[in-house]
Amino acid sequence: MTPRVLVTGATGFIGTAVSAQLLAEGKYRVREALRSAPSNLAAGADRVVVGPVTGATDWRTALAEVSAVVHLAARAHVGRDGSADPLAEFRVVNVAGTLNLARQAAAAGIERFIFLSSVKVHGETGTFREADPPAPADAYGMSKHEAEEGLRRIAAETGLELVIIRPPLVYGQGVKANFRALMRAVARGVPLPLGGIRNRRSLVALDNLVDVILVSLQHPAAVNETFLVSDGEDVSTPDLIRRLAAAMGCKARLISVSPAVLLFAATLLGRRDAARRLVGSLQVDISRVRQVLDWAPRVSVDVGIRRAVASL
C-alpha cells in the first residue's frame, strides 16, 4: 500500500508546496492537518481538522494509518511582537505543540518525523555549520532550539526516526512577509538606501527546501540527522535587489548609505532587528546535507527569484 504522510501547516507558504510535490511524485498519499477547513488544499489530499497546535492537541485521527510526519506548523517569527512574554507564546506552539505531536506519533508507530526548524537556532549573524553550538538571539529561535532538544530526547527514548532541517530565509512562489514587501518596493521603483551594504547571505528557494524535505522522508542516512540547507550561492542585499529588478524587467534604484547610518536610523524607528538582517551577513555551510543525502540544490538563485517574482 502507498505510504501516507501527514503534513502539518499544510496551508502555509511551505506546506502548500510540500503537499503539492508529494502528490505530484505519486509515491505517497497525503493527509493535511489543519487548524480549520480552508479552500486552498492540494487536490488529492485528505484533510483532518485538529484545531490549534498546542500541548493538548489530539492527533489520533490525523495520525491513523500514517507512516511519516512532516511538521511545518509553527508560530512564525514576527518583527514586532506585542505580547507581554513572546517566548511563552512561541513555546505554546513551537515547543509544547511540537513535542506533543512527536510523542503521539511515536506512540502510534510512526516511523519518521521531519521537523522544520530554523537557522535562527544558531543566531542572527555569522557562518554556521550544524555542529556549531546553538546561540539563538530571539524568542522564535529559542523556541525552535528547545523543540529540537525535546525531539531528540523523544527520538532516543522511542526510536522515532527524527530529521531536523534548519533553513535560512525561504523565498519562492507565493512568498509573503518581508521578502514580498521588498519585491513590491523594487517593482514600484522605490529608492532603497541599501547600495552600500557589503554582506553575504544564504537563502533557500522554496523548490530546494521542498526537495530536501522529500529526500529526507525516504533516505536511510537522514535518520537522526540535522541539516542546514541553502541554494549553495550566497548573495549580498544589493545583489539580491538587482536580481529582483532584472527578473521584473525594471531598474534597481539603489542609494549608497553607510550601514552604520542605516542601523542608527532603524533603531530610532524601532526596526533595528530588521535592519540588522539587511546589513549583516548570515551564511550556512551545506556540506553535510550534500554528503549525507547526496543532495544538491535543484534550482539556482535566479530561477528561485523568477518564480517568486511571477507570483507577485
List the catalytic residues: 140
Which residues have CB under 8 Å from 297's CB, separation 6+? 205, 208, 211, 230, 231, 232
Rounded Cα gap, residues 275 and 267, in angstroms: 8
Which residues have CB under 8 Å from 249's CB, separation 6+? none
Per 3-state DSSP, the chain is made up of helix, strand and coil in percentages (nearest 5) of 45, 15, 40
Burial of 196 (0-12, 13-18, 19+ CB in 10 A): middle
Rounded Cα gap, residues 53 and 143, in angstroms: 14
CB–CB of 240/223 below 8 Å?
no
Q: Three cell numbers at 237?
A: 542585499
Rounded Cα gap, residues 118 and 136, in angstroms: 10
CA dist list (Å): 187 to 152, 161, 173: 44, 44, 16
Local structure of 96: helix, strand or coil: helix
